[in-house]
Amino acid sequence: MAPLIIVKVAVPGPFLFPLDYLFEDEKDGSAPVVGGRVEVPFRNKKITGLVMEIVDSPDYELNKIKAISKVVDDTPLFSKTELVFLNWSAQYYHQPIGEVVMSALPKRLRSGENAEIKGMQYWRLTDDGKIKTLDDISKRAKRQRELFAHMKSHDWQSESQLNGALENWRSAAKSLSEQGVLDSSYGPCLMQHEFAPSPNHQLNSEQKTAVDQVVASQRAGNQFAAFLLEGVTGSGKTEVYLGIIEAAIKEGKQVLVLVPEIGLTPQMINRFEAYLQTRVAVLHSGLNDSERHCAWHLVRTGQIKVLLGTRSALFTAFQDLGLCIIDEEHDLSYKQQDGFRYSARDLIVRRAHLEKIPVVLGSATPSLESLHNAQAGRYQHLVLNRRAANAKPPSIKLLDIRGERIQEGVSTPLKTQMKQHLQQGNQVLLFLNRRGFSPVLMCHECGWQAACPSCDANMTFHRRYDPNNPNPDSEEGYLACHHCGEQMAKPKVCPSCQSDEFVKVGQGTERLEQTINEWFTDKTILRIDRDTTRLKGSMTELTAKAERGEADILIGTQMLAKGHHFPNVTLVGLLDIDQGLFSADYRAAERMAQLVMQVAGRAGRAEKPGEVLIQTHHPDHSLLTTLVAKGYSEFANKALNERTEANLPPFRYQVLARAEAVKPEDAMNFLASLKSGLENCLLQVDHANHPEVQFWGPVSAPMLRRQGRYRYQLMVQSDNRKSLHQLLIEMLPHIYNSPLSRKVRWSLDVDPQEMY
């Protein structure tokens, strides 16, 4: 009798552990391998899963175990260390192993497609197409004319390039192909191209010291080391990254670099490829399935040495990973806020630890957690105190606007400074972290306000503003909820009193843009926010215009605060930051300090001195005065002392249980039951040796109703991380089996970053 082969497979679903499947015999000469995919029966369908382990004895009765339907991969997609990393991630965040594994695979591989990629489709004009002119293309075929005009100025164009340049081009390409104008073929999924000349950049003494320390750790080999690179804005952290990446490549190693936003990747790709003279792969949510599969395959097979991506790139399989870097490590976007709720910052450190390689965490405004780890000796602290290329730090001043006349959010002193800087041929950046025209649309007669029907929030009024026709009476506009995404037309009359007179209360980037256009009619204004960057490639296009100096005044939200280099910006104005000074969230002060310093860092990054003006009604607020007078480091030390006294992270560990339901009592009952179960678990342990566990709640979330569901949360905190997680491990099976869990949407957020 042949020995039993039990294959433990991670499949999508609410399963904390892999499911057992039976491998009966070799089909087509293939057998399952650990780290490879298999197709398995699940309920009434077949799904793709990943083999986590192969054993010779099942956890369940043999007659209840189904057989594998098909072996998809005969070689592993993930190494043993990478599988340990995925398992650890699932256990630490108390997430189903299948959900974690699926987040590590491109969509095509999740659906069972071949891991090898045949290439990408490329397009070019045929010989007949090259002799045609735009007049030969039907004037009614707008898309065909756009595609033809684009191809006239380009040679081969990949799907990726066309996606970035044009919208809905595929049907036009098909029509032009049928006409003999275009032709296509398959080629490498990432073609080589000419790189810009490598910059002759000399590291200053601080940068060289940082590079040398990390490179020494690399060359020691088979050794984990974590470095916190704290450098003021404009200090040249990217040059440090490039220096240590170059050293890793020379050793034959691969490098993973995480950035917080898609918008940062294009400019970083160009800098990286020019300096390293090698192709860089990218992975982020803006890519299509082919592009993601291509990058993933090239990195896994070792054909690409450097991967640049947003948080999900963290789970990519590498052939020989030798270095990890996370830029702007403090950024909130590294925390996944739904589904598999993980912190990319924490996990990249864990991955480097398992791989026994160095990891560098870089920021001008490090998170308090990372600073605490540096102070405790877990991270080596590298500091860049001066700006690169002899650029001077900007002067930062508080503008006391109490009693000042404010015009559409801009005070008279700020307006005066704007005129002076613009007259000198410089650029001005205005920061307002609120998109739309106005956050409230109100009836002038009865006070009715446009509220979202699904959320406890007002809808923001958006106006399709045309600077060539600034007559307010001609506006159309619409209402949008920035929490659930619901949109509706602006009402013609008040639903309450039938008045047609509305007041737009508050300030958004659209309204600010309109006002600045009216004040500075001879200047070019560029607004960069989520509304103006929806189309693929638009963020790259707009920031490139700003860098080239094609706009005099930049207006934007926090999208402009991260990593962008605008050498001609000499004045930065922060219009409305007071809203962030007072919050129920204990992390709000840290977030505000980071945002202020990051935005301020856009000023004076080249030879010209920079000036930063912060409008506030609270010029004596300790956060602002500390930042302006003593800088971020002093603020961070003060904040850490406050966290110690308040018994808050990073000196305590937290898990936030959330529940939402159509009926509020269902969510509240679920969390009350969870709390009761956790308290019962505590009663069964030795209190003398058990750390204190605190429960806060259950209470309603700061926004009680969102998307038509009522939301509540329960905070669990302890000074012992291991005991806190053990408590949750004991409770999780009861949660999944509880009838109450079927009435709610629930989640566990380990090390929560937001109390929303």
What CATH number is associated with residue 541?
Answer: 3.40.50.300
- SS3 assignment, position 363: strand
The answer to whether residues 56 and 6 touch, using CB atoms and an 8 Å cutoff, is yes
Q: Looking at residue 285, what is its pLDDT?
A: 82
Q: What is the CATH number of the domain that holds 10?
A: 3.40.1440.60
529-556 pLDDT, tens digit each:
888 887 766 777 788 888 888 899 999 8
pLDDT of 81 > 90? The answer is yes
How far is 241 from 249, CA to CA, in rounded Å?
Answer: 12
382: left (phi over 0), alpha (psi -120 to 50) or beta: beta
CB atoms < 10 A from the CB of 629, how many? 11
Higher-confidence position of 559 and 469 = 559
How far is 394 from 602, CA to CA, in rounded Å?
Answer: 9
The answer to whether residues 386 and 232 touch, using CB atoms and an 8 Å cutoff, is yes
Taking the CA atoms of 67, 70, 76 and 77 in sequence, report the sign of the dihedral they define. negative
Is residue 197 a part of any domain in this protein? no
Higher-confidence position of 548 and 352 = 352
The answer to whether residues 163 and 148 touch, using CB atoms and an 8 Å cutoff, is no
Point out which residues pair with 686 in neighbouring strands. none
> Mean pLDDT over residues 517-538, rounded?
86
237 and 88 housed in the same domain: no
Percentage of the chain beyond pLDDT 90 is 61
pLDDT of 473 > 50? The answer is no
Find where tokens 């005066």 sit. 416
Is residue 194 a part of any domain in this protein? no
CB atoms < 10 A from the CB of 559, how many? 20
Buried b (16+ CB within 10 A) or exposed e, 704-724: ebbeebbbbbbbbbbeebebb
Find where tokens 């009476």 sit. 473
Find where tokens 């006002």 sit. 515
Point out which residues pair with 231 in neighbouring strands. 384
1: confidence class by pLDDT, cuts 50, 70, 90: very low
Is residue 534 a part of any domain in this protein? yes
The answer to whether residues 349 and 361 touch, using CB atoms and an 8 Å cutoff, is yes
How far is 339 from 348, CA to CA, in rounded Å?
Answer: 19
Residue ending a domain, among 87, 110, 133, is 110
Taking the CA atoms of 732, 733, 736 and 738 in sequence, report the sign of the dihedral they define. negative
For helices 622-630 and 632-646, the axis angle rounded to 10 degrees is: 140
302 and 377 housed in the same domain: yes
148-170 pLDDT, tens digit each:
989 988 888 887 778 777 878 88
154 and 251 housed in the same domain: no
Main-chain phi, psi angles of 337, to 5 degrees: -105, 0
Q: Looking at residue 691, what is its pLDDT?
A: 67
212 and 255 housed in the same domain: yes
389: left (phi over 0), alpha (psi -120 to 50) or beta: left
Is residue 193 a part of any domain in this protein? no
223 and 368 housed in the same domain: yes
476: confidence class by pLDDT, cuts 50, 70, 90: confident
477-491 pLDDT, tens digit each:
899 999 998 999 999
Main-chain phi, psi angles of 434, to 5 degrees: -155, 110
Amino acid at residue number 521: T
How far is 693 from 723, CA to CA, in rounded Å?
Answer: 9
Higher-confidence position of 554 and 388 = 554
Please give the DSSP secondary-structure letter assigned to residue 27. Answer: B
pLDDT of 690 > 70? The answer is no
SS (HEC) of 555-620: EECHHHCCCCCCCCEEEEEECCCHHHCCCCCCCHHHHHHHHHHHHHCCCCCCCCCCEEEEEECCCC
Q: Looking at residue 322, what is its pLDDT?
A: 96
> Mean pLDDT over residues 46-74, rounded?
89
The answer to whether residues 232 and 601 touch, using CB atoms and an 8 Å cutoff, is yes
Taking the CA atoms of 237, 239, 242 and 246 in sequence, report the sign of the dihedral they define. negative
- SS3 assignment, position 432: coil
Main-chain phi, psi angles of 194, to 5 degrees: -75, 135
413-447 pLDDT, tens digit each:
999 999 999 999 999 999 998 989 999 999 999 99
Contacts of 395 (CB under 8 A, 6+ apart): 609, 610, 611, 612
pLDDT of 94 > 50? The answer is yes
pLDDT of 268 > 50? The answer is yes
Contacts of 259 (CB under 8 A, 6+ apart): 265, 268, 308, 309, 310, 327, 328, 563
How far is 732 from 745, CA to CA, in rounded Å?
Answer: 15
The structure tokens listed for 48 are: 């793709």
365: confidence class by pLDDT, cuts 50, 70, 90: very high
The structure tokens listed for 254 are: 């691969």
450: confidence class by pLDDT, cuts 50, 70, 90: very high
458: confidence class by pLDDT, cuts 50, 70, 90: very high
Query: Which own/partner contact pairs does 408-411 have at CB distance under 8 Å and 24+ positions apart?
Result: 408/507, 408/511, 408/512, 408/515, 409/507, 409/511, 409/512, 409/515, 409/575, 409/576, 410/512, 410/515, 410/516, 410/573, 410/575, 411/615
The domain tally of the chain equals 6
Is residue 755 a part of any domain in this protein? no
642 and 561 housed in the same domain: yes
Q: How many helices (H) and strands (E) does the chain have?
A: 21, 32
Residue ending a domain, among 607, 629, 646, is 646
The structure tokens listed for 431 are: 């920061």
Find where tokens 């189309």 sit. 535
Q: What is the mean pLDDT of the chain?
A: 89
> Mean pLDDT over residues 106-113, rounded?
93
- SS3 assignment, position 413: helix
How far is 203 from 450, CA to CA, in rounded Å?
Answer: 55
How far is 150 from 134, CA to CA, in rounded Å?
Answer: 11
232 and 335 housed in the same domain: yes
Establish how many alpha carbons lie within 13 A of residue 225's alpha carbon, considering only the half-sphere containing its beta carbon. Answer: 19
The structure tokens listed for 619 are: 């010029």
What are the angstrom distances between the C-alpha of 258 and each of 272, 284, 683? 13, 10, 43
Q: Looking at residue 567, what is its pLDDT?
A: 81
Is residue 756 a part of any domain in this protein? no
- Comparing 13-27, 326-340, 494-508, 705-719, the range with the smallest average pLDDT is 13-27
Point out which residues pair with 502 in neighbouring strands. 443
C-alpha angle 613/617/619, rounded to 5°?
65
How far is 526 from 541, CA to CA, in rounded Å?
Answer: 11
689: confidence class by pLDDT, cuts 50, 70, 90: low
Q: Looking at residue 467, what is its pLDDT?
A: 47
414 and 376 housed in the same domain: no
pLDDT of 469 > 50? The answer is no
Percentage of the chain beyond pLDDT 70 is 95
How far is 751 from 728, CA to CA, in rounded Å?
Answer: 13
Using alpha carbons, select from 73, 66, 8 the residue that is nearest to residue 41: 66
pLDDT of 457 > 90? The answer is yes
248 and 378 housed in the same domain: yes
138 and 271 housed in the same domain: no
Is residue 142 a part of any domain in this protein? yes
Q: Looking at residue 44, what is its pLDDT?
A: 86
336 and 441 housed in the same domain: no
Q: Looking at residue 263, what is its pLDDT?
A: 66
Q: Name the residue range of residue 463's domain.
A: 436-507
Alpha helices in 79-137 (DSSP H): 80-92, 97-103, 107-110, 127-131
CB atoms < 10 A from the CB of 389, how many? 12
421 and 449 housed in the same domain: no
Residue ending a domain, among 110, 134, 158, is 110
Is residue 683 exposed (0-12), middle (13-18) or buried (19+ Cβ within 10 Å)?
exposed
> Mean pLDDT over residues 230-246, rounded?
92
Is residue 156 a part of any domain in this protein? yes
Torsion angle of alpha carbons 612, 614, 615, 618, nearest 10°? -150
How far is 414 from 406, CA to CA, in rounded Å?
Answer: 10
294-323 pLDDT, tens digit each:
999 999 999 999 999 999 999 999 999 999
